[in-house]
Amino acid sequence: MQWYLIALLAIGGLGVLYVVVYAVRWITRVGSKAESLIDQIKTADEAARTTPRSLTSVESFMLPQVMKDFPEYNPAVIAERVKRDARLFYESAAAGELLYEGGVSAALKENLKLPDNVAGGIEVHKVALTAYDRQMRDRLITYQAAVKYDGKDNDVYQVRLKLRYVAAYTNDFQNGITVIKCPNCSAPVPAVGDKVCRYCGAALLVSAGQGWVLVDAGEC
């Protein structure tokens, strides 16, 4: 009888030992998976902090149309303009006021919404042409900029900023509508892509560096 009890106790002890060993192994596996998941999350978070946002460029097939409408259009000049405007957007946010002096519409100055968490460390990685629209007489180009900045929460942000420009012979905006005028006779120009004034025959040229007015900007 004693041997029977001893045998039962031994079997029970082995069972408990097996459960303990299995539990330890299970906890170890779960812990390893949790550590791996945490490492993956940390890696993804670090990538989000250090990797510039991707941009989708349409320049390869939209630029020929832009150049057809505006032979003086200089992609390199415009790209530098976009980088400057993107930096100014976030510098304005960090300063708590609008720093644009020219080349923007009055409506943008009045309605522009700036992010409230920008502390500094602003870096514009790259820009890309993402759209070219022909709306009635207006011609609009849209660029995206991949930007990095330091937040007030001590975090680093990689963001996409969208900037839209309208071609204009003058920076004259009335009631939010672009007013395009002939520089010779001041007659309205039906379409900004026109090369000759339909009233006086004067040649119409747009300066790529100054002929594009920023009308909209915001993170996307």
DSSP string, the chain: -HHHHHHHHHHHHHHHHHHHHHHHHHHHHHHHHHHHHHHHHHHHHHHHHHSPPP----HHHHHHHHHHH-TT--HHHHHHHHHHHHHHHHHHHHHTS----SSB-HHHHHHPPPPS-EEEEEEEEEEEEEEEEEETTEEEEEEEEEEEEEETTS-EEEEEEEEEEEE-SS--EETTEE--B-TTT-PBPS-TT-SB-TTT--B----TTTSEEEEEEEE-
Residue 127's pLDDT is 97
pTM of the model: 0.69
Confidence of residue 207 (pLDDT cuts 50, 70, 90): low
- More confident site: 104 or 205: 104
pLDDT of residue 146 exceeding 90, the answer is yes
Confidence of residue 124 (pLDDT cuts 50, 70, 90): very high
Confidence of residue 6 (pLDDT cuts 50, 70, 90): low
Residue 196's pLDDT is 82
CA dihedral 67, 69, 72, 73 (to 10 degrees): -50
- More confident site: 80 or 26: 80
At 46, give phi and psi (nearest 5°). -65, -40
CA 82, chain centre distance (Å): 12
Residue 13's pLDDT is 59
- Which pLDDT tens digit goes with each residue over 48-66? 567 899 998 999 889 999 9
CB 181 within 8 A of CB 172: yes
pLDDT of residue 191 exceeding 80, the answer is no
Give the range with max mean pLDDT: 50-54, 72-76, 77-81. Answer: 77-81
The residue assigned the tokens 């629209």 is 133
pLDDT of residue 95 exceeding 80, the answer is yes
> What's the number of CA atoms in the CB half-sphere (13 Å) around residue 216?
11
- More confident site: 92 or 178: 92
CA distance 26 to 155: 36
